[in-house]
Amino acid sequence: MESDHIFNKHTLVKLNSEIDVYTNNRPFSHAVIDDFFTKDVASYLFDNFPLMEEMPNIFNEPMSFKGQLSDIDGKWPKFSKIFEILQSEDFRIKISKLTGIPDLLPDPYLAGGGLHQSPKSGFLDIHVDANFHPFNKTLHRRVNIIIYVNRNWESSWGGALELWSDKNNRPHLLEGSIFPQFNRAVIFSTTRNSWHGVAPVNCPENESRKSLALYYYTVSRPFSEQYSDSSVIWMSKSSKIKQLLYPFLNFLIRILKPYSKFIRRKNIFDSIDNKN
């Protein structure tokens, strides 16, 4: 499987030419690329995606309900080559060109990334992502890429990626709603103000919202974007109870962060076991 041969030709053109579109999109810099992979690659991903019960981690918490598989090489090697290409230097250079963020680095752990799956009643509350890599605090998280591989997804099933504006470091207005269309990629810059979430999923029991997720890092970031080490910061616009709960929860998560693996009693990053 050759590097450029997994992508549609227009994907490579857009990565090289839509720099102004990416930079000027609101509420924060992002791009949407349809028909991202070739038809054969996208179909292969859909046909070979793990079942929900095969996901090593299933999060059913106040903040989210989803499955996650990060250890692609160890647990789902049939996708290894595709992830290898998505993490390759050649592809990262293309993402750097689009985003204007130079010297992007891959994550060998795919910590928090890899394969995501949301079943019926799945959701992901509004949040901004952690600003550093969970295992290497010298690496700043800068760019997310999400590629949807759920075929024939219907609008009534929900699951849209929601993009929120920021006001005083809190989500303000819903300014973008991106339908999780089959073979659609969403690329966006991660900052203290890149509020996003996943609308509730209302698909049939035998369906699920499926995606690939990768995050890219740099060894530094502009001073204006820096803030103290933080885990994911959660907020809610739909639940009064969560609006009261999340500020306390965010504080608690930050304090207990060094002890999280003991509190959870399992490693939420399933890839770490095979990298040490």
Distance CA 74, CA 234 (A): 31
Does the structure show a pLDDT above 50 at 276? no
What are the backbone angles phi and psi of residue 55, rounded to the nearest 5°? -75, 125
Instruction: Check residue 3 and give its pLDDT.
Output: 61
Phi (first) and psi of residue 159, to 5 degrees = 75, 15
pTM of structure: 0.92
**Predicted local distance difference test score (pLDDT) of residue 130:** 94
User: What's the confidence (pLDDT) of residue 272?
Assistant: 59
pLDDT of residue 265: 46
pLDDT for residue 259 is more than 60: no
**Please, which residues have CB within 8 angstroms of residue 54's CB and are 6 or more apart in sequence?**
69
| CA atoms 251, 254, 258, 260: torsion sign | positive
Distance in angstroms (rounded) separating the CA atoms of residues 168 and 124: 22
Could you tell me the pLDDT band of residue 249, with boundaries at 50, 70 and 90? confident
How sure is the predictor about 263, in pLDDT bands with cuts at 50, 70 and 90?
very low
122-161 confidence digits (pLDDT tens): 999 999 999 999 889 999 999 999 999 999 999 999 999 9
Contact 68, 57 (CB under 8 A): yes
251: pLDDT strictly greater than 60: yes
What does the alpha-carbon distance between residue 258 and residue 264 come to, in Å, rounded to a whole number? 12
Burial group, residue 265, by CB count within 10 angstroms (0-12, 13-18, 19+):
exposed
Higher pLDDT, 11 or 1: 11
Q: What is the CATH code of the structural domain delimited by 4-274?
A: 2.60.120.620
264 has a pLDDT exceeding 90: no
Q: Is the pLDDT of residue 9 over 90?
A: yes
Note the pLDDT of residue 275. Answer: 53
Give me the residue spans of the domains in the chain.
4-274
What percent of the chain is modeled with pLDDT above 70? 91
Q: Which of 43-52, 227-236, 260-269 has the lowest mean pLDDT?
A: 260-269
Kindly state the average pLDDT of the residues 10-31: 95
The residue-averaged pLDDT of 246-272 equals 66
| SS3 assignment, position 4 | helix
pLDDT in tens, 34-51: 999 999 999 999 999 999
